[in-house]
Amino acid sequence: MTLEVTNFITVANEDEVPEGSMVGVAVSGKPILLSKIGGKIYAMDAVCSHMNGYLPKGELRDHTVICPVHKAQFDIATGKVTKNVPWLIKVLAHKEATELHSYEVEIVAGQIRLKISSS
């Protein structure tokens, strides 16, 4: 039987993520994307599920992250795919973008903390 442990881990200072920006951090070697929209911090996986594009190098439009490689789009709050890669790229790569993991965020004394589960 595996016991899942959930902890909040401090990953950055709140002032390191300016409004409208995307910042990459790593938690135990896992790349995570932080962004701030409307004063709220969001966190999700930082690597595109299609062809491993590094999302902090992409574009942030409203609540959507656009991958810099093949332009897959993800909802910043949920990690859900809002627009997949073009049909021809899907066919040639034999792969499409899939949902990314999003993380619960809390701010404590100016520190960004993410809820991370480990088993």
Condensed to tens digits (0 to 9), the pLDDT of residues 25-53 reads 999 899 999 999 999 999 999 999 999 99
User: What is the spatial distance between Cα 60 and Cα 66, in angstroms, rounded to a whole number?
Assistant: 6
Structural domains in the chain, sorted by start = 18-114 (2.102.10.10)
pLDDT at 1 over 60: no
Which residue spans within 21-100 are E strands per DSSP? 22-27, 30-37, 40-45, 59-61, 64-66, 73-75, 81-83
pLDDT for res 118: 62
pLDDT for res 34: 98
